[in-house]
Amino acid sequence: MFDPVPWLILLPLVWGCLTFLTGVGRGGRLVLAGLIIQLVLTIILARQIVMEGARHYAVGGWGAPLGVDLYVDGLTGIMLLLTHVVALPLVVYARAYFSSQAEGASYFWPLTCFLLAAMNALFMSADIFNIYVTLELLGLAAVGLVAAAGSAGSVTAAIRYLLVTLLGSGAYLMGVALLYGTYGSVSLAVLEPLLATTEISAAACLAAMLMLAGLLLKTALFPFHFWLPPAHGGAPAPVSALLSALVIKASFYLILRLWFDLFAPLVTTQAAQLLGGLGAAAILWGSILAFNQTRLKMLVAYSTVAQIGYLFLLFPLMTSAIPGAAESAMQGGVMQLVAHALAKAAMFAAAGVMVLSAGKDDIALLGGMSSHLPLTLFTFALAGITLMGLPPSGGFIAKWLLIDSAVSGGQWGWVVVMILGGLLSAAYVFKVLRQAFLPPVAGIKFKPVIRMLEWPAFLLALISLLLGFRSVEVLNLLGAA
């Protein structure tokens, strides 16, 4: 039977190296062709997971504890599918975007390939040291993408991002060293039973705190969000979309894995409530800051800070002893992850089109945009429906499952937070839409844009909306053991 697992790591590395040789124009075509192949491979892998269940892949025929294992299950399949479903339209968008604005084009293609290779390897890693290696590769590729435009603002944001990612990775690596020194292994398959059956040491507790703190910094959970808006808001639009939709989801995926697998014996209700509290603060504070922004891309960036908060509500909700409540919380959290990735990629892409047309990133200059770029504004509105959690979007299914879990478990405070978050999301989305329907500002003339810039963003927004009708397939893949 054909095994797509190693190819999902090797092929993006091959595409990345080849783009250096083919040049900017051909590099985009090569990456597009490569992503189509990789999407087919992820679909094959997802089908194998559904039919055969989770499995390990021993790299070079040497598995743990002597060698390196890769591991795929339902959650891995969801993350791999999401990565390629989002990346493929964004590559089409990036080709059109960089034909209109060449800054950063020469570095975008190889760095994107390396970023995808690192993400694929991270999702399939079954070894805490290999996870560190993939985290570093992912962080460095992301920093390079932020700096690709070459402007003073983008370089400053990239340096700040670099320092944050190194700090987060350093904290994670110290935790890995403590676990290796205590238990003599870095394999998850070896460490999980040891932590579950032996007395928990102070070193293991410290390792858990360091590793989770490093990942929280990379995920930009409040109050560690200070680096995210400048990095996402100052990068070229295709880069902003990739970072917001995919890169921060990778570190959250690791938190999810470590919290419920490796560190499950160390988890306490108080720790889960603390994460939930930080998530609630992110929802409210991030939404307020988003509403107060005058720049369109910064508004979308602060929206990301807010939407990340919903992901962390699943931790306190998972502590419920009520039958079915914990399962609903996990399903809701994963649906929120998928829906947000699609909607935020679409929203950043749409914002990039409007900024290109207006010539300046200023919400006050969007008057008349509704008649100039109606499809782009419609795309922004569709993505906003998902972020607000309105039916029939994937965001609605996600918030419904989270609220159902909170109500079932009697945790009514999180219900209030989610309702307020939805109202605040509506406030900053309608702020942009209202401005776009006002008359044009005197002296402002919109530039024409390539129509191919509009359709990939619309496709992503449409998928985020239609996800509500296909949520059963996502949840079935999540349940594949």
Return the HEC string of 199-245. Answer: CCCHHHHHHHHHHHHHHHHHHCCCCCCCCHHHHHHHCCHHHHHHHHH
Average pLDDT over residues 164-182: 91
pLDDT confidence of residue 339 = 92
Check residues 394 and 104 and name the one with the higher pLDDT.
394
Q: Which CB contacts under 8 angstroms, 24+ apart, belong to 140-144?
A: 140/165, 141/111, 141/112, 141/114, 141/115, 142/115, 142/243, 142/247, 144/107, 144/111
149 within 8 A of 232, measured Cβ to Cβ: no
For residues 292 and 38, give the distance between their C-alpha atoms in angstroms, rounded to a whole number: 40
Average pLDDT over residues 249-260: 91
456 within 8 A of 92, measured Cβ to Cβ: yes
pTM given for the model: 0.92
Q: In percent, how much of the chain has pLDDT > 70?
A: 95
Q: How is residue 470 annotated by DSSP?
A: S
**H or E segment and range at residue 410:** none
pLDDT tens figures, 437-468: 988 877 778 788 888 888 999 999 999 999 88
Q: How far is CA 56 from CA 11, 13, 61, 262, 476, in A?
A: 20, 22, 11, 17, 20
pLDDT confidence of residue 346 = 94
For residues 147 and 226, give the distance between their C-alpha atoms in angstroms, rounded to a whole number: 18
Query: In 10 A of CB 424, how many CB atoms?
Result: 21
pLDDT tens figures, 324-358: 788 888 888 899 999 999 999 999 999 999 988 88
pLDDT tens figures, 359-381: 888 888 888 888 888 899 999 99
pLDDT confidence of residue 345 = 93
For residues 351 and 233, give the distance between their C-alpha atoms in angstroms, rounded to a whole number: 10
| Mean pLDDT, the chain, integer | 87
For residues 281 and 287, give the distance between their C-alpha atoms in angstroms, rounded to a whole number: 10
Q: How confident is the model at residue 255 (pLDDT cuts 50, 70, 90)?
A: very high
Average pLDDT over residues 97-104: 67
| R_g (Cα) of the chain, nearest Å | 21
Q: How confident is the model at residue 265 (pLDDT cuts 50, 70, 90)?
A: confident
The amino acid present at 282, given as its one-letter code, is A
pLDDT tens figures, 14-68: 888 888 777 656 677 888 888 899 999 999 998 888 888 878 887 767 766 767 7
Q: What share of the chain is helix, strand, coil (3-state, %, to 5)?
A: 80, 0, 20
290 within 8 A of 302, measured Cβ to Cβ: yes
Average pLDDT over residues 210-224: 91
For residues 216 and 275, give the distance between their C-alpha atoms in angstroms, rounded to a whole number: 10
For residues 323 and 70, give the distance between their C-alpha atoms in angstroms, rounded to a whole number: 32
